[in-house]
């Protein structure tokens, strides 16, 4: 077995090429190295598919929660405050849009530009 895996010194002397012995070996578990690696990946893939299938079956078969309570009968007093808040928000959005439009359309009024000679030095 140690000769097949390259021995313990092979990992210390050549850590990057430590898997080359599998590809260089003629047979691993009485099959070729390529078929062995392919079978190993196929086994891992099948196990993951089986695990995801079990999880999906459990999630699909489990109950989906509690039955909702029946709808209340009569007048809902929570509608009036919601309607007032909605109306207040609509008025606020309208006023802010009007202000934005007014300041966007109207040209900004700036102070006149300073003249260096007249304003700063006081000369004419």
Helix/strand/coil percentages in the chain, nearest 5? 60, 0, 35
The string of pLDDT tens digits covering residues 32-53 is 778 888 888 999 999 999 999 9
39 part of a folded domain:
yes
- Among residues 88, 17, 27, 60, the alpha carbon closest in space to that of 6 is found at 17
99 part of a folded domain:
no
87 part of a folded domain:
no
Question: Which domain covers residue 45, as residue numbers?
Answer: 2-61
The string of pLDDT tens digits covering residues 86-104 is 999 999 999 999 999 888 8
Please give the mean pLDDT across all residues of the chain.
Answer: 78
53 part of a folded domain:
yes
> Tokens at residue 107, please?
């040209």
Mean pLDDT on 57-65: 87
Q: Determine contact, residues 97/91, Cβ cutoff 8 Å.
A: no
9 part of a folded domain:
yes
Q: SS3 for 31?
A: strand
Would you tell me how many other CB atoms lie within 10 Å of the CB of residue 6? 19
Q: How many domains does the chain have?
A: 1
76 part of a folded domain:
no
The string of pLDDT tens digits covering residues 16-33 is 555 666 556 577 677 777
Q: What global pTM score does this model have? A: 0.34
88 part of a folded domain:
no
pLDDT on residue 37: 86
95 part of a folded domain:
no
């Amino acid at each position: 077995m140690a000769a097949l895996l390259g021995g313990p010194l092979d990992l210390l002397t050549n850590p990057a090429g430590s898997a080359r012995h599998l590809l260089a070996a003629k047979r691993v578990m009485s099959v070729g190295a390529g078929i062995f690696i392919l079978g190993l990946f196929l086994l891992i893939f099948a196990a993951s598919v089986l695990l995801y299938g079990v999880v999906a079956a459990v999630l699909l078969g489990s109950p989906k929660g509690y039955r909702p309570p029946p709808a209340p009968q009569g007048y809902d007093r929570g509608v009036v405050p919601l309607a007032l808040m909605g109306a207040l928000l609509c008025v606020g959005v309208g006023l802010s849009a009007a202000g934005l439009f007014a300041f966007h359309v109207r040209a900004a009024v700036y102070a006149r530009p300073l003249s260096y000679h007249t304003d700063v030095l006081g000369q004419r």
